């Protein structure tokens, strides 16, 4: 494995990408999703974050931002929009700037799909009823979840219904998902792991801004977004496990120390399940600087989940 350094990325790797794939490898559209060898060796991270084109020409790791090239492709001759032409003259493109990302796939998706709505109802009946508020769209066997900034879709994540996996189109920096129905005048921020958990959290904490990390840890880019997009006084971390919440809390406090922080301890182990069961997460006030707690549940509020 030959490695070239480049100022825009952590590392450039030239190798036979087919050696990272076997018969059990997960495939999402035209990408194989595998464990990144650099993340394993240097970061001791073992999740599958490396997306490899199914022709084994190029790959991109969403965690360490490394780009992978087949031996026949010269990385020094490429432009840094990561464009290469296949024999059928179709272009492979991974964007270096999120602002350049092409969201045509989202807009070509359907605004209504019965199978998709039935799937949403199994997760959260209120979400299925109000899915248009979140600008959710559908394709065959797939839910398309948009990321919105200033009323404009800038990115999307898809959820396969039958395969039960997510796909994030490869971009250099994974953005925060911001629940569109958040109260953006609020000074309270709640951070969770996934999109569906974020939506459920915002449903019972209506006077809060709720965002999702799309994983169990916060990236440097997402830390930057926290400071750029939100003027919050209180921040609660509400991940699936307390140790993950504490890790994320420490990173945020290091970057933005002059805030009030706390951790929400999930009763059922997941914010979405807390919502379904009607539980209030325990509040662990870590800063000692404020006495306010999150809005309590409205006692009369109850929803029967019907599938």
Q: Which domains does the chain have, with CATH numbers?
A: 2-94 (no CATH), 97-172 (no CATH), 175-295 (3.40.1360.10)
Question: Which residues have C-beta within 8 Å of that of residue 86, sequence separation ≥ 6?
Answer: 55, 57, 92
For residue 179, CA distances in Å to 153, 155, 208 come to: 13, 14, 10
Buried b (16+ CB within 10 A) or exposed e, 149-167: eeeebbbbbbbebeeeebb
Q: How many CB atoms lie within 10 A of CB 231?
A: 11
- pLDDT over 60 at 221, yes or no: yes
Residue 137 is predicted with a pLDDT of 96
Per-residue pLDDT tens over the stretch 282-305: 554 433 332 233 233 223 222 332
pLDDT of residue 175: 92
Over the stretch 97-128, which tens digit does the pLDDT of each residue have? Answer: 565 567 889 999 999 999 999 999 988 888 99
State the pTM of this model. 0.64
Q: Are 67 and 82 within 8 A, CB to CB?
A: yes
Query: Rounded to 5, what percent of the chain is helix, strand, coil?
Result: 25, 30, 45
**What share of the chain in percent tops pLDDT 70?**
78
């Amino acid at each position: 494995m030959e490695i070239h350094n480049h100022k825009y990325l952590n590392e450039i790797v030239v190798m036979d990408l087919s050696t990272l794939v076997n018969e059990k490898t997960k495939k999402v559209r035209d990408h194989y999703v595998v464990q990144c060898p650099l993340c394993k060796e240097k970061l001791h991270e073992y999740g599958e974050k490396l997306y490899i084109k199914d022709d084994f020409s190029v790959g991109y790791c969403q965690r360490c931002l490394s780009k992978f090239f087949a031996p026949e492709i010269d990385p020094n001759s490429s432009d840094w929009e990561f464009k290469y032409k296949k024999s059928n003259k179709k272009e492979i493109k991974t964007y270096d700037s999120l602002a350049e990302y092409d969201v045509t796939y989202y807009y070509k998706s359907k605004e209504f799909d019965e199978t998709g709505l039935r799937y949403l109802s199994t997760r959260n009946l209120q979400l299925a009823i109000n899915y248009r508020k979140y600008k959710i769209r559908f394709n065959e066997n797939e839910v398309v979840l948009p990321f919105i900034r200033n009323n404009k879709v800038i990115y999307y994540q898809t959820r396969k219904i039958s395969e039960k996996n997510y796909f994030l189109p490869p971009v250099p920096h994974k953005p925060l998902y911001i629940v569109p129905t958040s109260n953006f005048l609020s000074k309270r921020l709640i951070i969770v792991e996934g999109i569906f958990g974020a939506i459920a959290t915002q449903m019972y904490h209506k006077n809060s801004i709720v965002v999702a990390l799309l994983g169990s840890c916060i990236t440097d880019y997402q830390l930057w977004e926290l400071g750029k997009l939100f003027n919050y006084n209180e921040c609660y971390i509400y991940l699936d496990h307390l140790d993950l919440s504490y890790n994320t809390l420490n990173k945020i406090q290091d970057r933005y120390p002059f805030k009030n922080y706390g951790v929400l301890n999930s009763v059922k182990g997941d914010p979405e399940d807390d919502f379904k069961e009607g539980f209030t997460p325990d509040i662990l006030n870590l800063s000692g600087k404020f006495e306010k707690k999150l809005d309590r549940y409205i006692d009369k509020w109850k929803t029967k989940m019907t599938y």
